[in-house]
Amino acid sequence: MTLPELFALLVELSEADSNLTQALRAHFGFVEHALAKPPARRDVWLNRLAEGQIVGAAWSETGDAKQANFSTVLSHGGNGWRLNGTKFYTTGSLYADWIHVGASDAEGAPVSVTIERKARGVEVLDDWDGMGQRLTASGTSRFIDVPVDENEIVADGPPFAYSEAFYQLVHIATLAGIGRALASDVATALATRKRGYSHAAAPLPANDPQLLEIAGRLRANAYSAGAIVQLAAVALERAAAFAGQTTDDALLAVTQAELEIWQAQTVVSQLVLDATTDAFDALGASATLRSAGLDRYWRNARTITSHNPRVYKDRIVGDFAVNGKLPPGQWRIGQV
């Protein structure tokens, strides 16, 4: 399967339920990570993945966590390698068989480890209370003297060269799917609605040109978002073709993919957020009833667009366009 084919399927999955795509985001990325591993470990992991085993992630830390390193620590003693720490935004780990964790070693250098979800000392809490994407289990994971297989320790660096672009494009595909589902729900509601306003341009909402204009705009926004995802996935496929290489051409392909996807993020985010608001102009007060559930589209889209904030992306693209400055490396959050 090509990456454009994968992302087309992710848009469809998100149209059905955007929680599923985000909950599996770390898993999809880990598949790419496994492909980049040395042959022996790659084969081990590809066999596990082929059996249907799922991988979650635990990277972000809250509170006084630092940007430069993790407070989650990997240490070595008489009982072997052990992992200790607490993570938040551990999306999908509640449902996983394995968890891919970012940590610091004894010298403070960043590493990543992959541990069994049900290993002794692993505690995954179902405490995600975000306003959107409520079923992604993006809450807390705790690790207390968790045994770590030395073969699953990876030194500093992105899990695969195009990882930043890949993980962000999953979010963008999720947004495109939300846009599709919203457009479909609004069209269905207008087609079946029998009540109309006295000031409307037509007795039935289905014949009201103003409401039809809104329905058409929502569909156009969703179409545009999906088309942008496909074009960005082509750029990602070009970068993936250079996997394992460190040539100038490989760096250029990764840079181009990142720039295209940063550009895509700001545009798709606005298209979908606008649609989740405009939908209520077509459906009126009854659409705000909790039983209708239409607020979930805005809540889910707003939650996803808050990841790796889009407010920085236009500046990064502009700095490249004007000054030729390459995008920064892996995103980290915390105190300086």
Q: What is the set of domains in the chain, with CATH numbers? A: 37-155 (2.40.110.10), 163-323 (1.20.140.10)
Q: Report the chain's mean pLDDT, rounded to a whole number.
A: 94
Mean pLDDT of 143-159: 90
Residue-level pLDDT at 329: 74
- Of the pLDDT bands very low, low, confident and very high (cuts 50, 70, 90), residue 155 is confident
Residue-level pLDDT at 63: 85
**H-state helical runs in the chain:** 3-16, 18-23, 25-35, 39-50, 163-192, 209-240, 248-283, 295-305, 313-323
Residue-level pLDDT at 244: 83
**Greater pLDDT, 239 or 64:** 239
Picking from 136, 220, 130, the residue whose alpha carbon sits closest to that of residue 176 is: 220
CA–CA dist 194, 287 (Å, integer) = 14
CA–CA dist 32, 166 (Å, integer) = 9
Q: How long a stretch of residues is the chain? A: 336
Which residues does residue 73 pair with via DSSP β-bridges, in sequence order?
Answer: 84, 104
- Point out the least confidently predicted range of 114-128, 171-185, 304-318: 304-318
Picking from 159, 172, 161, the residue whose alpha carbon sits closest to that of residue 27 is: 159
Mean pLDDT of 123-150: 96
- Of the pLDDT bands very low, low, confident and very high (cuts 50, 70, 90), residue 81 is very high
- Contact by Cβ (8 Å): 12, 177: yes
Each residue of 232-266: pLDDT tens digit? 999 999 999 998 888 999 999 999 999 999 999 99
Residue-level pLDDT at 223: 98
pTM: 0.95
CA–CA dist 40, 260 (Å, integer) = 34
Each residue of 108-118: pLDDT tens digit? 889 999 999 99
The CA-atom distances, in angstroms, between 309 and each of 259, 262, 306, 313, 331 are 15, 10, 5, 7, 10
- Of the pLDDT bands very low, low, confident and very high (cuts 50, 70, 90), residue 30 is very high
Residue-level pLDDT at 113: 95
- Of the pLDDT bands very low, low, confident and very high (cuts 50, 70, 90), residue 294 is very high
CA–CA dist 68, 65 (Å, integer) = 9
- Of the pLDDT bands very low, low, confident and very high (cuts 50, 70, 90), residue 73 is very high
CA–CA dist 178, 280 (Å, integer) = 15
Nearby residues of 322 by Cβ (< 8 Å), 6 or more positions away: none
Mean pLDDT of 58-87: 91
Residue-level pLDDT at 60: 93
pLDDT over 70 percentage in the chain: 100
Residue-level pLDDT at 13: 98
- Contact by Cβ (8 Å): 76, 106: yes
- Contact by Cβ (8 Å): 317, 263: yes
- b/e code 305-329 from CB counts within 10 Å (16+ = b): bebbebeebeebbeebeeeeeebee
Residue-level pLDDT at 196: 85
The answer to whether residue 143 scores a pLDDT higher than 80 is yes
Mean pLDDT of 105-131: 94
Would the CA dihedral through 292, 295, 301, 303 be positive or negative? Answer: negative
